[in-house]
Structure 1
Amino acid sequence: MQLFLDIVRQSLATLWAHKLRSFLTMFGIAWGVGSLLLLVGLGEGFRSGQEKNLKELGSDILFIFPGRIPAVAGSQRSGRTWNFTYGDYLAIHDQAKHLRNISPVLNREDIRAVSDYGSTNGQVFGVAPAYNQIRTVPVGIGRWFNEEDNQEHRRVAVVGWELLKNMFPGRPAVGSTILLNGMDFSIIGVVEKVGREANNGTNARIFIPIGTMRTLFRLKGNSQADALSFMNYQPRTREEHEAAKAEVHQIIAQRHGFDPKLEDAFEDWDTVDNSRKVAKIFDAMDWFLGVVGVVTLGLGAIGIINIMLVSVTERTKEIGLRKALGATYRSILTQFFIEGAFLTLLSGGIGLAGVTTLVIMLAQLPAPDGFDTPRIVPSSAATAIVSLAIAGVAAGLYPARKAALLEPVEALRQE
C-alpha cells in the first residue's frame, strides 16, 4: 500500500511540474464532458418545453378546420370555402365509433365584455360541456357548465384567468354578472392560469355553452344559422387517431357531398402525430449530440495519449535509471498509468462539476417561450462516465506499457 501511495505522489508531482501542459491537456477532456452534458441538457429542456406546450392544449387532441370543397358536387377540384355545421357535430357525435369526446367550437373575437369594474375585448368560445374533458381548462373556482346549461341555453360563463384580472381586479368573480354585447351573463367559474399568461389563449377567453352561443352570437359573416368555427375531438385511444380522423372526414364529406380524400377539404392538426414526430426529432438530436460529445471525448483522450508519449520520451533516461536501480515493470507501468488516468478523470470531473453548476444557475432564470430549464440527463451522465473510464484506461495504459517495456541499458543510452 505504501508503495502504491509513493507512486501516486510521484505521478502527481510530475503533473504539477508541467502545470501548463497538464492544464491544456485536461481542457480537451473537460470540454468534451461539458459539451456532451450541456448540449443534451439543453435539448432535453427544449423537449420538455414542447411537451408541456402540447399538454397545455390537452391530451391526444385533434383539431379539424374547414378548407375548400368543390363548387360543383362530385367534382374533384376545390373551389369554395365552407363551414362545419352543428348538424355535422351531432352526426359525428352519434355515428363515430373511434371517438372518446368531441366538442364544436363557435369562436367570436368581436364581443365586448363589460363588468362593474372594467371591460375588455376577449375571445368568446361557445363549446359543448365535453370541451373541458378534451382541452386543458382547469376550473379553480366555481364549476364548468353542464348539459342542462347547454340544452336550456342558459346565459352562464366561465372566465379565463387573464380576463379576470382586468374585469374583477382583486374581487371575487363567481356569482357576478357581466355583459356580453349588452346581454347579461352570470359567471359560474374561473379558469386557473394555464401555462404562461402571454402564451396561452385559454387565459384570455370566455366560455359559454354552445347552445347559448348559437342562439345569441352566430358566426360572423356567415349566412348559415348553425355554422361552426372548428371542432376538437379525441380518439378513443392514441393508436386509433388515424382511424378517428378518417371516420370524421367520411361523415362530414358524406353530409356535404364531396370525396373525403379531397386534400384541400380539411385542415387537421393532430397533436398525437405531432408529439410522436417531436419525440423522434429529439431522439435523433440526442443521439447526434451524444456522438459529438463522445467523439470530443475521444479526441481529448488522444491528446492525453500524445502528451503521455512525449512524457515517456522526455523521461527515458529517468526510466532506465530507475529500472537499473531495481524498479519493477509493474511500478513503472502503474506510475504512468496513474498519470494518464488521473489527467482524464480529473478533467472529466471538472467538466461535470462546471456544467452542473451552470445548469443550476440557468434553472434560476426564466425560460424562454417553448423551452424548459436545462437539466443533467442521467443517461448522458452515465455515458460520459463510461466514456471517461474507457478514455482513462486508453490514455494511461498504452504510454505506461511503452515506458515499462524500455530496456534499462537502451534507456540510459538515450540523449
Structure 2
Amino acid sequence: MGIFQSIKMALKSIKSNKLRSALTMLGMIIGVSSVIILVSIAQGSAANVTSQINQLGTNLLTINTFGSDLALTEDKIKELSKLNGVKAVSPVVSGRVNVKQGRTSSQVTLTGTNAEYSTVRDTKVSNGRFITDLDLEYRQKIAVIGSDTASTFFGTENPVGQYLQIDGTSFKVVGVLVSKGSSMGQSGDNVVIVPLSTGQRLVKSTTINQVYLQGQSEDQMDFVMNEVEMALASMYPNKSDSYSVTNQQDLMDTMSSVTNTMTMMLGGIASISLLVGGIGIMNIMLVSVSERTKEIGIRKAIGAKRRDVLLQFLIEAVVLSGVGGLIGILTGVGLGKLVSSILSLTVSFTPSVMVLSFLFSLAVGVVFGVFPANKASKLNPIQALRYE
C-alpha cells in the first residue's frame, strides 16, 4: 500500500471521530502556540532592550571617576581625545534643576556638555540647532530641550526662540531634540541640555566626573578601551578603584546572554505542554488500536504486511500532531498580536521559531505514535478476527 493511500486512510479515520481528534489535537495546539507566544515575547523584549542600549549612542565608552580629587580636567580630556581610535569626546555635568515658564514649573534633568555630545550620544535635533563650540566659549545662556520638556512648557507652540527660567536664570531655547523615549529606566525626553560652562554654574560645581567617548568603529572598541584604561592608569596611579570604564558592547553582550537564557527557559517550559499533548496522542492511538482490532485482523488476513499497518497508525499520529501544530502556529501568532496590543508588549515573531515548534510537534507525533502503531502491527490476524 502506498504512502498516499495510508495518509488517505489516516485522514478518513480522523474524520470519523471528529470530537476525539479535536480534543487530541488540542494538546498540540496549546503546546505550539505557547512556545510561539512565550519565545516571541522574550525575543521582543530582547530587541527592545537592545534598542534602548543603542539609544545611548554607538561605539560608546563611558568614563566615570569618583571624588573631586579625581576630576577629569580639560587637559586630561584633551589627552583622552588624542588617543588612537577615538573619534569624539564629550564631558558631562548633570543635576536636577527647577524650570519655569509662565505659570508652569517642574524639575527637569539638566545636562551640561559640548557640541560633540550630539555625535557621541546619537542625539538629533527635530527643530532648531544643537549646542556649538561658540556657545561654550562665550558661556551663552541657551538651551536645547527634550520633546517632553517642550510639550510640558510650550504645548503645541514652537519653543525655538522662546525663553525658560532655569533656577531663576533666563535661557533662550535654540533647539528641540527628537524623541528617544525611555532608555535603561530613564526618560531621554524630559531633559534640558546647556553648554558645559553654563551647566557648571547651574550645578554649582566645576568638577567633571563623567566623560562619553566614541570610537572610530565597532571593531576597534576593545583596542580603544585598552588605550583609555592605560591612559587613566598613568593619570591616576594606584587608584584603579576610583574610576571605571564601561563599554557599551559589554553591556549589550550581558543583556543578550540574559535574554537568551530567558528565551530558552520560557521555550523549555512551553515545550512541556507539547510532551503532554504527545501523551494524549499515544493514549488516543492505543484506544484506536483496541477499537479497530478486527479491522487490523481483516487487513492482515487479506495480505496486508506488518509494515502497512505500522505505517497507517504512525501516519495517523503524525497527521494529528501536524494539523495540531499548524493550527497552533496560527493560534500563537493571533494570540501574540492580541497580547502585544492589549499589554503594549514588544512581540517579535521569527519564522525559525515557528518552523522548529512545528517540527517538534511532528517529532512528538512520531515518538508517541510508534508504540501504538507497533502494537497494532504485531497483532495476530486470527486472534484479531476473534476479538470482541
TM-score of the two chains, using structure 1 as the length reference: 0.81
Q: 1:140 to 1:327 in 2, by over 3 A?
A: same
Kindly provide the CA deviation profile for residues 232-265 of structure 1, in whole angstroms up to 9, marking residues without a partner as x. 112333344344334334434434x4325x22x1
* 1:14-33 alignment runs, 5 A limit: 14-16=16-18, 19-20=19-20, 22-33=21-32
**CA distances 1:361-389 after superposition (whole Å, capped 9, x unpaired):** 1222353xxxx422322111111122233
- Gap change, CA 1:360 and 1:285, over 3 Å in 2: same
C-alpha separation in 2, matches of 1:125 and 1:148: 17
Counterpart for residue 262 of structure 2: 285
Question: CA separation in 2, counterparts of 1:198 and 1:117?
Answer: 32
The counterpart of 2:224, out of the listed 244, 269, 282, is: 244
Say if 2:230 is the partner of 1:228: no
Q: Counterparts of 1:181 and 1:292 in 2: how far apart (Å)? A: 54
Distance change (3 Å), C-alpha of 1:3 and 1:180:
closer
In structure 2, give the amino acid aligned to 1:159: I
Matched ranges for 1:109-124 at <5 A: 109-110=96-97, 112-116=98-102, 118-124=104-110
1:258 equivalenced with 2:228 (yes/no)? no
Which residue is 1:45 aligned to?
A: 44
1: distance between equivalents of 2:118 and 2:251?
21
Match of 1:411 in 2: 384
Q: Tell me the CA shift for residue 414 of structure 1.
A: 3.7
Q: Does 1:12 align with 2:11?
A: no
Q: Which moved more, 1:358-367 or 1:136-145?
A: 358-367
With 99-108 and 83-92 compared, the bigger mean Cα shift is at 83-92
Report the Cα distance in structure 2 between the residues aligned to 1:6 and 1:97, rounded to whole angstroms: 71
User: In structure 2, what is the equivalent of residue 320 of structure 1?
Assistant: 297
After superposition, where does 1:51-200 map in structure 2 within 5 Å?
Answer: 51-67=50-66, 82-94=70-82, 96-110=83-97, 112-116=98-102, 118-196=104-182, 200=186
Question: In the alignment, is the contact (CA less than 8 A) between 1:194 and 1:203 conserved in 2?
Answer: yes
Instruction: Answer whether contact 1:11 1:338 (CA < 8 A) is retained.
Output: no
**Deviation of the 1:105 alpha carbon:** 0.6
Q: What does residue 278 of structure 2 align with? A: 301
1:289, CA displacement in angstroms? Answer: 4.1
- Please report the RMSD computed on the Cα atoms of aligned residues, expressed in angstroms: 3.2
Shift of 1:296: 4.6
* 1:376 equivalent among 338, 341, 349: 349
Say whether the 8 Å CA contact 1:64–1:269 is kept in structure 2. Answer: yes
Structure 1 letter corresponding to 2:221:
H
- Percent identical pairs in the alignment equals 26
Matched residue of 1:164: which SS?
Answer: helix
Change (3 A) 1:386 1:133: same
**C-alpha spacing 1:247/1:337, structure 2 compared with 1 (3 Å):** closer
- Is 1:61–1:233's contact at 8 Å kept on the other side of the alignment? yes
Question: Does the Cα contact within 8 Å between 1:57 and 1:136 map onto a contact in 2?
Answer: yes
Bigger drift between 330-339 and 131-140 goes to 330-339
CA contact (8 A) 1:174 1:190 kept: yes
Deviation for aligned residue 1:142: 0.7
Alpha-carbon distance between aligned partners in 1 of 2:264 and 2:17, rounded to the nearest angstrom: 35
SS in 2 for 1:185: strand
Higher alpha-carbon deviation: 100-109 or 300-309 = 300-309
Q: Is the CA contact (8 Å cut-off) linking 2:80 and 2:231 kept in structure 1?
A: yes
The equivalent of 2:197 in structure 1 is: 211
Unaligned runs of 5+ in 2: none
Deviation at 1:205, TM superposition (A): 1.4
Task: From the superposition, tell whether residues 120 and 152 of structure 1 become closer, same or farther in structure 2 (CA, over 3 Å).
Answer: same
Question: Gapped runs of 5+ residues in structure 1?
Answer: 69-79
For residues 289 and 6 of structure 1, what CA distance do their matches in structure 2 show? 37
Provide the C-alpha distance between the structure 2 equivalents of 1:3 and 1:166, rounded to a whole number of angstroms: 71
Deviation at 1:334, TM superposition (A): 5.4
Shift of 1:44: 0.5
**Structure 1 residue 314: deviation in Å?**
3.6
- Which residue among 286, 308, 321 is the counterpart of 1:344? 321
Q: Does the C-alpha gap of structure 1 residues 408 and 137 become closer, same or farther in structure 2, counting only changes over 3 Å?
A: same
Count of matched residue pairs: 386
**Structure 2 counterpart of 1:362, from 339, 357, 361:** 339
Q: Give secondary structure in 2 for the equivalent of 1:311.
A: helix
- In 2, are the aligned partners of 1:86 and 1:227 still within 8 Å (CA)? no
Q: Is the 8 A contact 1:117 1:167 kept in 2?
A: no
Inter-partner Cα distance in structure 2 for 1:395 and 1:15? 19
